[in-house]
Structure 1
Amino acid sequence: MNIETDFLVVGSGIAGLSFALKAAEYGKVMIVTKGELGECNTDYAQGGIASVMYDPDTFEKHIHDTLVCGAGICDRAAVEQVVTHAPTVIKQLIHWGAKFDKDGSGRYELAREGGHSEHRILHHKDITGHEIERALMRRVKRHHNIEIYEHHFAVDILTQHHLGKLVKKSTPDITCFGAYVLNLKKHEIYTVLAKITVMATGGVGNIYHTTTNPAVATGDGIAMVHRAKGAVENMQFLQFHPTSLYNPGERPSFLISEAMRGFGALLRLQNGKEFMHKYHPMGSLAPRDVVARSIDHEMKISGDEFVYLDITHKDPKEVINHFPNIYQKCLSVGIDLTKDMIPVVPAAHYCCGGVKVNLNGESSIRHLYALGETSSTGLHGGNRLASNSLMEAAVYADVAAQHAISLLNTIELQRNIPAWDYEGTAIPEEMALITQNYKEMQLIMSNYVGIVRSNLRLERAKRRLEIIFKETEELYLKSTLSQHLCELRNMIAVGYLIIKQAEAMHESVGLHYSIDYPAKPVNME
């Protein structure tokens, strides 16, 4: 089955939906998402969205904070683009129906989070992402030029490879023609032909055993671009959120927003002592990477499985008003955060790298854009400044849409792409192996490629990953496709990229390793 569209958007978070709404004014848009429309990292974002709004804050201060937090390796042009476009994007989100909290005077109530020198975080209680996603979904569902395909999984990007041509990373004109898309309910694979394709599939958190990301965050877009020989960078920069709720057995881990520390909460050891002042002058409001490593170090010294976040010294009514969702969640596990300290641990949270893009959101593959956490814009450098991610996604969706719209009438659909060709059959033993490899992959990444890494740990991770890779590729070449099998392949690709690019930062690793993906046979007749 062939489907034709002007714009194919893979992913349904703030990046994908924002792009879709803008592009739909100029052409037909098809949104593909492997779950329900609202299942995305955006919906889980608690703290807020960063933008300069009032004095004494300035663009220069926001730019400076971002550069400092990013360890000095941000792309300054990207930082300036996001920061200076932010107020305009906020107005657009408000126009689309997003509601942000205001104070008694009618001004937006701005929070402050780790690494920020001023209050500049717009929020909706402690469910900001959910509120933004709600507003965007409402608009998207009503737009006559947008078709939504829920429970559809993008398997691979279509390029010249599918026309029988040899495509390498050095090929200068790799071009995207759309994607193969698996209907998860009918188990059929569609050939979706598009003039413009957008990868906005979110993060990679589920390659780790402990993560704050929803189950859908398996690095699909990054892996697809990698297999299509597109440029992927900075995958070694995985951000671990310092404060996820310590509740063994729960997955994903429930996030305790950084906004709580911005509100005055303090990190304490189990003996009640504060400790962050030993590691950073900003104490509990230090940048996330500093706080996560500090907690990890203290737990290793003490042997404890968690530390505490203490907000019991703040006014109970204000705490409940600002963090109603977190308050109710903690109550559900027997913690009254107005009286009890909250047990917290770091968890895999955000990928600062991804598909390399320019200031227009274009990847190295022609007619293919990458947005949001799937992309590496250069904004975050080595560490993301809190609440910059939602803004990055919205700003780049805006500039990418403008650029893509300008190209639309110059692109012709590539209609001679062959249909997907496979004769696989899944058997119970194969499905069990997929599930087992899925879990093993997560443990390997958590045990060897976590907050603290070493050459030895990376070597061990590679050896174990190679075994899983070989087993999984054998299944892929002979089995009926399933969501778990597709996700597992993507997770292995992302894990490999993280290890490979982490090695590049370590001296004298002494190993050479690569994973090359065999081409899926296609019917050229």
Structure 2
Amino acid sequence: MNAQAAHAGGRGNQFDVLVVGSGIAGLYAALTAAPRARVALLTKGALDDGCSRYAQGGMAAAVGAGDSVELHYRDTIDAGRGLCHPDAVRVLVEEGGARVRELLDWGVTFDTQDGELLLAREAAHSRARIVHARGDGTGLEIESALISRVRRSGVTIKEHTEVVRLVVDDGGRCIGVETVDTQLGTTGCVAAGAVVLASGGASRLWRNSTNPESATGDGVALAYDAGAEVRGLEFVQFHPTALALEGAPRFLISEAVRGEGALIVNERGKRFVLDAHPAGELAGRDVVARAIWEELQRTGAPCVYIDCRPLGPTAPLRFPAIAHACVQFGIDITRDLVPVAPAAHYMIGGVSADLDGATTLPGLFACGEVASSGVHGANRLASNSLLESAVFAHRAAGAAINSLGEAEPPRFAAGAAERLPLRGSAEVRRLWSDLHDSLWSGAGVVRKPGGLRLALATATAAAGCAEPSLPAVRLRAAARTAGLVCSAALAREESRGCHLRSDLPQSSDQWHGDYVMHKERGARLDRHL
């Protein structure tokens, strides 16, 4: 389909604000916009299929005694290794408390003691400031509460509706989306005065990942192909401690366990991370991930270990989800070591967005993991992601509504619907597998030019698959995003934060800025920081 052939299907498929994605950012944006606009929320799976529900640690906010927004600001800036946008970090930390209070008003039940929020400390935070729920089930608690509220809000919910293209009019404004029903294969369109992209990250593209199957980076590809700028895509965060057992999913072992006193040890029981940084287990994610990776490369071991025994017999009460996941594989966290290794976890780069979520494409806004708000720089501070989702989704929804008066209501010409096959060929499955493997080996924790070029070639081949099936459509979007990641990682000739080059191990002042990419204008280094 194209913009001229798209069909909105009447007012029932025409909205003021269209939100793409049903994680915490998408749900928050929809709820913020709903009282003031006709809102639709589209998600390619069920409403609760996104990454947010898997977030364990919590939400960082300076809400406790002895803490301050200034301390939170400094911790975030320090973690970002020189590339955080200071104005975005200011917004994050100054508005974080209000968003936590709003979540409480919306029915989220955070863990408390004697009527006060329980606050945990995580790596690279100078204070205990992590609000959490259900012990280690914060994402699930927030998402569940928001879903319940969205279902009562009047928002039109379209589940199993995958966006395959952003529709841009002749004036260069995003006016809606083209979709595929993921259960039937039928195509369609939804028109909107403003589109809020909240489709999540891309970490499932790597062979070893903590993310669910849906996290394939399609939002970045959609925005890039429509003419929006993307930036910082070389920065993909690998969580240091994912469960590393043959046949087991890469279940996240939260940083919060280390904040409570758990240790990282090698097979000899040595706390080797102390050799990399005096903070040891509480150093930044980039430091800990690299230390573990280098230990595995040096020893040839498949994993290192988390030792939760210092937490004592109450560990399963504080971390019930982790304890339950481990016991399924015969591990008792009160007495056994937990085997762990790094896994792809979070996409720091994304669609370029300003402080109100506006992208460089008029009519398109972005928030959550799909966006590059500038908050995280080159390395995300633990538990800032849920806060970023809430803070910038609130802003993006407000800005989207305010933009409605700038354009005429979108109009679509009628066009015939199509039906895509829901099953892909063996060739598509092979290309998917090759993409997963090439990203892990070539664009993983530590990169080198040869591996990145091989991964880029694999992504380019996958992007060229012309098969007209839904799996092939998804493959092409994933490969587009993967190719952008590899191109950015090749271009940034230094190591900084979670972008580690074995051939260029030091940071360079020449690369102090954002690597920005645009489909027509090419790439540039934005040195405005």
TM-score by length of 2: 0.89
Is the contact between residue 191 and residue 419 of structure 1 (CA under 8 Å) also seen in structure 2?
A: no
Spell out the pairing of 1:105-184 with structure 2 (5 A cutoff): 105-124=114-133, 125-144=135-154, 146-160=155-169, 174-184=172-182
Spell out the pairing of 1:411-426 with structure 2 (5 A cutoff): 411-417=407-413, 419=415
Question: Aligned AA for 1:272?
Answer: G
2:476 and 2:287 map into 1 onto residues whose CA distance is 32
1:343 matched to 2:339? The reply is yes
Spell out the pairing of 1:364-379 with structure 2 (5 A cutoff): 364-379=360-375
User: 3-state DSSP class of the match of 1:178?
Assistant: strand
1:497 corresponds, among 484, 505, 510, to 484
| 1:49-97 C-alpha deviation (Å, 9 max, x unpaired) | 0000122111111011101110011000000000000000001100110
1:456 and 1:490 map into 2 onto residues whose CA distance is 24
| 1:391-448 C-alpha deviation (Å, 9 max, x unpaired) | 001000111122222222443222135636768778x8x6221111111111010010
Which runs of structure 1 show a deviation greater than 3 angstroms over 4 or more consecutive aligned residues? 416-426, 514-517
Partner of 1:9: 19
Is the contact between residue 242 and residue 343 of structure 2 (CA under 8 Å) also seen in structure 1?
A: yes
1:213 matched to 2:211? The reply is yes
| 1:441-472 C-alpha deviation (Å, 9 max, x unpaired) | 110100100011111211222223322222x1
Task: Determine what percentage of the aligned residue pairs are the same residue.
Answer: 38
Matched pairs, number:
489
User: 3-state DSSP class of the match of 2:408?
Assistant: coil
1:486 Cα deviation (Å)? 2.5
Spell out the pairing of 1:256-275 with structure 2 (5 A cutoff): 256-275=253-272
User: 3-state DSSP class of the match of 1:313?
Assistant: helix
1:330 and 1:425 map into 2 onto residues whose CA distance is 39
Spell out the pairing of 1:10-409 with structure 2 (5 A cutoff): 10-103=20-113, 105-124=114-133, 125-144=135-154, 146-160=155-169, 174-251=172-249, 253-317=250-314, 319-409=315-405
Question: Aligned AA for 2:300?
Answer: G
2:95 and 2:416 map into 1 onto residues whose CA distance is 41
User: 3-state DSSP class of the match of 1:436?
Assistant: helix
Partner of 2:427: 433
2:457 and 2:398 map into 1 onto residues whose CA distance is 44
Q: After the TM superposition, which of the residue ranges 495-504 and 44-53 deviates more from structure 2?
A: 495-504
1:311 Cα deviation (Å)? 1.2
TM-score by length of 1: 0.90
Is the contact between residue 228 and residue 518 of structure 2 (CA under 8 Å) also seen in structure 1?
A: no
Is the contact between residue 455 and residue 506 of structure 1 (CA under 8 Å) also seen in structure 2?
A: no
1:8 Cα deviation (Å)? 0.8
Aligned in 2, Cα 1:298/1:425: closer, same or farther, shift over 3 Å?
closer
| 1:155-200 C-alpha deviation (Å, 9 max, x unpaired) | 100013xx5xxxxxxxxx6310110011122221111110010110
1:516 Cα deviation (Å)? 7.6
Aligned in 2, Cα 1:214/1:423: closer, same or farther, shift over 3 Å?
closer
| 1:360-419 C-alpha deviation (Å, 9 max, x unpaired) | 000111011011000000000000000000000100011112222222244322213563
1:397 and 1:205 map into 2 onto residues whose CA distance is 21
Unaligned runs of 5+ in 1: 164-172, 518-525
